[in-house]
Structure 1
Amino acid sequence: MAETHKHSRRLTGIEIVIGGLLAGLVGGVGMGLVLLLGPDVFEILGALLGSSTLAAGWIVHLSVSMIFGIAFAVVVSRRSVRQFVASFDEYVVAGIAFGTGVGLIAGGLILPAAVAQAGVGALPLPFLPLPGLAAELLGAALFAVGHLVYGLLVGVTFATISGAVPRRLADRTPIHN
């Protein structure tokens, strides 16, 4: 990886929350674009609000994405974590790891529980126009790639908000001039 610049700027509490919210929004949009490759994904999420529409699904998805973005920002801003996550690359790696964890927790626990609680029944797998196992594997792959994209974008966005940028860009940013 490229040489990176460690930042020294410590964010205030409100900056952490707003930064996490923005990072979660950016990550959520990126992940959402990946999930659009699978039909009915957002309609399934919208059903949690009682409206199986694309718009309702985006509302649920982006709301949850922003909540998880705030959680990421709070975790990486803790003094005990900042000693390990201070450079741009470290934020990106932390974001990808976080996105992976969120995917496992969301896909394995939260989404199935929310679907059951909302009375939606079960997730309509396969939700892709493929037979059996192929559809389930492709659905799982989209979900996995979507969460990796989410984590990557959350890490990049929050790194930038925190003032950590790749060294090759450090001389072009106001924080480092």
Structure 2
Amino acid sequence: MVALIPLAPVVQIMNEKTTHSLDSVGIWGGGFTGGLVGGIAMGLVLHLGANQIELLGGLVPGAGTAAAVGWTFHLIISVLFGLVFATLVSRGAVQELVETFIDYVIVGLAFGALIGLFAGGVLFPVAMAGAGVETLPLPFLPIPGMAGELVSALLFALGHLVYGLVLGAVFAAINGITPGVVERRVPLER
């Protein structure tokens, strides 16, 4: 008989309403998969909303097609942020506050908003400086001038909220935490 050794400690939460545990497979699998699926959802908002995914690809010097490079770079970053989310949400202090599927979605939304602020305020300007770009051309926007820049900013914000929502939901689902409506319709053994 082979003894299984967990890669990380199991975090177990027990209270009157919920009992769930996170193991290393659920934590890292949830972070990776949630980051990837959330990145795809966010990328679709950015790409279809105003073709903003090309901006990210355009910041990589000597890259091929801006859209292909943008998608690749965006999904890599999305998975990395998904793993950061998994690391944070699996901590004992956070687990004491997070019990339900909706809790994970709310934490995901907050995380998406924070990384949106970080990406827009720090990462994107640093990448622009590294690529030697002073301002970004916005020919893809259907509205010129300040209104177009506002649309771009709103889509950027919406994309990050979509990312966080999907990340939180997928992370919870992979860890066996289901929405209350599902639990009422399909009783789960606990």
State if a TM-score over 0.5 links the two structures.
yes
Deviation of 1:126 (Å)? 6.8
| Equivalent position to 2:123, from 98, 104, 110 | 110
* Contact 1:6 1:88 (8 Å CA) reproduced: no
- Which residue of the partner structure matches residue 98 of structure 2? 85
CA contact (8 A) 1:98 1:151 kept: yes
The answer to whether the 8 Å contact 2:42/2:163 transfers is yes
Code of the residue aligned with 1:36 in structure 2: it is H
Structure 2 portions without partners, runs of 5+: 1-16
Instruction: Assess, with a 3 A threshold, how the Cα gap between structure 1 residues 92 and 115 changes in structure 2: closer, same or farther.
Output: same
The equivalent of 1:101 in structure 2 is 114
Deviations 1:120-163 (A, max 9, x none): 44322475132211101100111111111101000100011122
Structure 1: 5+ residue runs without aligned partners?
none
**Mapping for residues 19-168 of structure 1, pairs under 5 Å:** 19-50=30-61, 51=63, 52-125=65-138, 127-168=140-181
If the length of structure 1 is used for normalisation, what is the TM-score?
0.87
Query: Which residue of structure 1 aligns with residue 11 of structure 2?
Result: none
Q: For residues 2-31 of structure 1, give each alpha carbon's deviation from its aligned partner in whole angstroms, at most 9, with x where no partner exists.
A: xxx63412222x542232011000100101
Q: Percent identity?
A: 47
Is contact 1:22–1:66 with CA below 8 Å preserved after alignment?
A: yes
Find the aligned partners of 2:50 and 2:76 in 1 and give their Cα distance.
Answer: 20
More strand by share: 2
Q: Cα RMSD (Å) of the superposition?
A: 2.0
Q: Return the offset for 1:71.
A: 0.7
* Partners of 1:61 and 1:22 in 2: CA distance: 14
Using the TM superposition, give the Cα deviation of residue 176 of structure 1 relative to its aligned residue in structure 2, in angstroms. Answer: 3.9
Structure whose CA Rg is larger? 2
In the other structure, the counterpart of 1:9 is: 21
Total equivalences in the alignment = 171
- The two structures have a TM-score, normalised by structure 2, of 0.81
1:119, CA displacement in angstroms? 2.6
Deviation at 1:166, TM superposition (A): 1.4
